[in-house]
Amino acid sequence: MRPPSLSPRSAADVPAARPRPAGGPGRWTRPADVRASVRKKWDSGALPARFAAGRDWEPLGIPIRGPSAREIGDRLAEVRQWAGEWAEAGRGPLRVEYRQVGGRHFGANRLPCRAWLDGYDDAWALLRVRPEVRRLTGLIEAARGTRLVPWLTGHPLRALRVADDWDKLLATVRWVEQRQAPGMYLRQVDVPGVDTKFIERHQGVLTELLDAQLDPSRVAVAAPDFAGRYGFLRRPGYVRFRMAGGFLGFSEMSVRTSELLAAPAGVSRAYVIENEITYLAFGVPAKAIVILGGGYAVPVLEPLRWLTGLDVVYWGDIDTHGFAILNRLRLHLPHARSMLMDRATLLSHRDHWVTEPSPIAAPLDRLDPAESALYADLVSNAYSPSVRLEQERISFSAAEKAESGGGPRAQGGAGEGDAFRGQPRRAGQAFVVG
């Protein structure tokens, strides 16, 4: 009697299957497994990068795990189906290598043992990515004559993700290289279809492209933002402030921080207040300036170097972010004191507590001992989860008491009693309200 072979035949010709052992077809390599393996090389960027760089193809062979001799007998129908899948795959783009398998009960059979890809075209056909490859080739051709080709060959998948906007990106890079002049804002980049929203949306990739294309002398790598990095003017920062008796005939001023180069004459103390209504209601003592922090006290104050020569008092929310702002403020103004950011103020306003949306727990090393202890309690939820006492929820009477000496004062020194009364009692004050 002839031993059975793996040639396809009808299900009626297949002998009854024996009890199936563990393992089996689930462990056999399928054409889809090979495709998935090659897909990983594409998804990692290694395969398209090799192609884009013009490197020769190296034949790629992937081992095929097949049935054991016993499984051929126990699962003959499934083995035939599996072998049929590989016969179909071997018609292209895969080339399938076979090995001879002999058995006492089944005779000699040829089983797939390795799948080969013999060229880039075969790989693209297997992965069905020929349109993407054509597009990548087009991007590279469009960038010929620039310094951007290495970026494209090194980041092919990122290039494909921005392919729809590549013409605009390339035109933007060329415009900056050839037409940018000192004193320009990003708004003045004049490329069809490109506006500041486009530049903001593609800031990451534009940074890499401009770094690659521009002469290094035109890239300020230490600049904190995109505009400054490439010599564009930044959006100016403004400082909003009030003084007793007004300033130059105005009750309130908002000026560019870069232009407020010195403290107004006669000012010796600055109050920094975060909340706008509190800032507006604050009775400014004589020889004091009140500055609105508006939740961004540190960026507002950093350029004002003259504050180092003033007595600076900071008043912000009692929450983890309020102490973080104070901590950062002291990096530039280590002598700055806090006001009404103490335990007594917090506990006396329990009915006004709200929940801080996203508290932090970072170490803050520039707080004084009392501030540090309160910050630690807020972080550990000692009173309630995510406690927050906003500045505008603190009663005016508490502020008046603090300034008159009848309640919690500014940490590190006595306050002035007339801040909310508008009746100057002592000269030389500057109040910064966050």
- The per-residue pLDDT for range 207-260, each reduced to its tens digit, is 999 999 999 999 999 998 999 999 999 888 899 999 988 888 899 999 999 899
Secondary structure class of 220 (helix, strand, coil): coil
First to last CA, the chain: 97
Three-state secondary-structure class, residue 107 = strand
For the stretch 148-192, pLDDT in tens is 999 999 999 999 999 999 999 999 999 999 999 999 999 999 999
Question: What pLDDT shows up at residue 244?
Answer: 85
* Over residues 86-96, mean pLDDT: 93
pLDDT tens digits for 355-378?
A: 999 999 999 999 999 999 999 999
pLDDT over threshold 90, residue 136 = yes
pLDDT classification of 381: cutoffs 50, 70, 90: very high
pLDDT of residue 311: 94
**Which pLDDT value is given to residue 56?**
95
Lowest-confidence segment of 10-14, 235-239, 272-276 by average pLDDT = 10-14
The reported pLDDT for the residue numbered 427 is 35
- For residue 24, the model assigns a pLDDT of 63
Share of the chain above pLDDT 90, in %: 69
Which residues neighbour 275 within 8 Å (Cβ) at sequence distance 6 or greater? 390, 391, 392, 433, 434
pLDDT at 292 exceeding the cut of 60: yes
Return all residues near 209 (Cβ < 8 A) that are at least 6 apart: 148, 151, 169, 173
Note the pLDDT of residue 404. 53
Counted residue by residue, the chain has a size of: 434
Q: Tell me if residue 433 falls in helix, strand or coil.
A: strand
CA distance 383 to 387: 7
Block residue for tokens 């004589």: 286
Query: Higher-confidence residue: 407 or 141?
Result: 141
Q: How sure is the predictor about 4, in pLDDT bands with cuts at 50, 70 and 90?
A: very low
Q: Can you read off the two tokens belonging to residue 331?
A: 């990096």
* Residue 106's pLDDT band (cuts 50, 70, 90): low
Residue 165 in contact with residue 171, Cβ under 8 Å? Answer: no
Residues 6+ apart with CB under 8 A from 241: 247, 252, 253, 254, 289, 290, 291, 292
Residue 105's pLDDT band, with cuts at 50, 70 and 90, is: low
Q: Which of 374, 375, 346 is nearest to 362 (CA)?
A: 375
Regarding pTM above 0.75, the answer is no
